[in-house]
Amino acid sequence: MDAITVTNLVRSYGTVRAVDGVSFTVGHGEIFALLGPNGAGKTTTVEILEGFRTRDSGEVRVLGQDPVTGGRGFRERIGIVLQSAGFEEEFTVRELLRLQATLYPRRHDPDELIGLVELVDKRNTRVKALSGGQRRRLDLALGLVGAPELLFLDEPTTGFDPAARHRAWALIGRLRDLGTTVLLTTHYLEEAQELADRVAVLRSGRLVAIGSPDELRGDGGAPATISFTLPVGVDPGDLPSLSGEIHTGGHTARVRTHAGVVDLQALTSWAVEAGHGLDDLTVSPPTLEEAYLELTGEAGHDR
């Protein structure tokens, strides 16, 4: 049985259908990312799965239970890492983790967790004296202390510097080895690409795509990019007509195209006939970010 099963989930607030008939499953041990623009319905969906919000209709099973009626037994099996947990500021890192651990029948060793989130140097520091990034790592350790079978991670690296983000990714990746299922929400496409086995994209309460990051890059309908160095003495206006848009910056030309093979052939035929080389020629598939922007209807907004 899957760790999470959602079937035709609906939740409205007044006239707003925040979640509008969403269905998906998450397998045991999978890292699953929920993506979507602000207001797409991610938080509503996740909070229904956590048992914090009710649904209007649809079926939800989390670790085989309905979160609404799961009760304490259910809560002990899930871990939740909030964006800013309101916890006791006067405790030290170690005290707080040890205290939290007593709430769970199953638990990870607090000292091992302190090592896992790289807070060994800060274990005797009071929570109120931690930096934002250190606090987020403590949040993660607190989410893990009950040895959850399923961990909910809400934007786990928001506010991290790039090095801390990469360390956090390595850490979250290691949860896979513990067999923990992870449901992640994030606005960082690179994060989803790096961590997630599968991603689901929500838009206005509906699921518009689901699959592995690579599947979404391929199926999302986003354009590929052909890039090359403009031959010496050639203006952009001299290039053959192509189905994709041509952008030039400095000596580099980029063609964003939905007809990569056709445009590539037109370009190379033109170059051979005119006796030009096409230095640094590359053809790149869309990134997950480009596929995402296409799927959410946001492509081209800021170009």
Task: List binders of ligand ATP among 16-55 (CB under 6 A).
Answer: 16, 18, 36, 38-44
* Per CB under 6 A, 285 contacts ligand ATP: no
* Per CB under 6 A, 142 contacts ligand ATP: no
In this chain, which of 13, 219, 277, 282 binds ligand ATP, going by CB under 6 A? 13
Nearer to ligand ATP, 13 or 52 (CB): 13
* Per CB under 6 A, 183 contacts ligand ATP: no
Nearer to ligand ATP, 42 or 198 (CB): 42
* Per CB under 6 A, 15 contacts ligand ATP: no
* Per CB under 6 A, 225 contacts ligand ATP: no
Choose the binding region for ligand ATP from 11-19, 108-116, 188-196, 269-277 (rule: CB under 6 A).
Answer: 11-19
Interface with ligand ATP (CB under 6 A), residue total: 11
For residue 285, the 8-state DSSP code is P
- Pairwise CA distance, residues 234 & 244, whole Å: 19
Nearer to ligand ATP, 44 or 134 (CB): 44
> 31-35 and 181-185: which strand pairing?
parallel
Nearer to ligand ATP, 46 or 288 (CB): 46
The structure tokens listed for 137 are 């790592």
Nearer to ligand ATP, 216 or 271 (CB): 216
The structure tokens listed for 155 are 């934007």
- Pairwise CA distance, residues 272 & 126, whole Å: 68
- Pairwise CA distance, residues 194 & 10, whole Å: 30
Q: For tokens 């991610």, what's the residue? A: 42
Nearer to ligand ATP, 52 or 214 (CB): 52
Shortest approach of ligand ATP to residue 39 CB, angstroms?
4
Q: For tokens 């960082």, what's the residue? A: 188
In terms of Cβ atoms closer than 10 Å to its own Cβ (0-12, 13-18, 19+), residue 257 is buried
Shortest approach of ligand ATP to residue 286 CB, angstroms?
22
Long-range Cβ pairs for the range 61-67 (8 Å, 24+): 61/1, 61/2, 61/4, 61/5, 62/3, 62/4, 62/150, 63/3, 63/4, 63/149, 63/150, 64/1
Shortest approach of ligand ATP to residue 207 CB, angstroms?
12
Under the rule (CB under 6 A), what is the footprint of ligand ATP? 13, 16, 18, 36, 38-44
